[in-house]
Amino acid sequence: MVIINGNAVSFSKPTTIGAYLDENQYRRQRIAVEKNGEIVPRAAYDTTILADGDKIEIVSFVGGG
């Protein structure tokens, strides 16, 4: 079980942050991802596997004026 933005999510197979983002239609250019309190570099999204007990925060940047 992984906690993503406060919601419990389970996966039937190993999943990377990048796969989760793509599945949920996040625009990678407009977000930041934190895993267990540490910022995950964008270059690592496709290689960082979500593990049981991880806490993920995905923050979207909103433009405006």
Q: Between 62 and 6, whose confidence is greater?
A: 6
Query: Which has more confidence, 61 or 63?
Result: 61
Please say whether the beta carbons of 59 and 40 come within 8 A.
no
pLDDT in tens, 4-50: 999 999 999 999 999 999 999 999 999 999 999 999 999 999 999 99
Structural domain count of the chain: 1
- Are 30 and 60 in contact by the 8 Å Cβ rule? The answer is yes
Does 7 map to a domain? Answer: yes
Look at residue 20 and tell me if it is in a domain: yes
CATH number at residue 38: 3.10.20.30
What residues make up the domain containing 56?
2-60
Q: Is residue 28 part of a domain?
A: yes
62: confidence class by pLDDT, cuts 50, 70, 90: confident
Q: In this predicted structure, what is the pLDDT of residue 65? A: 63
Residue 65 maps to a domain: no
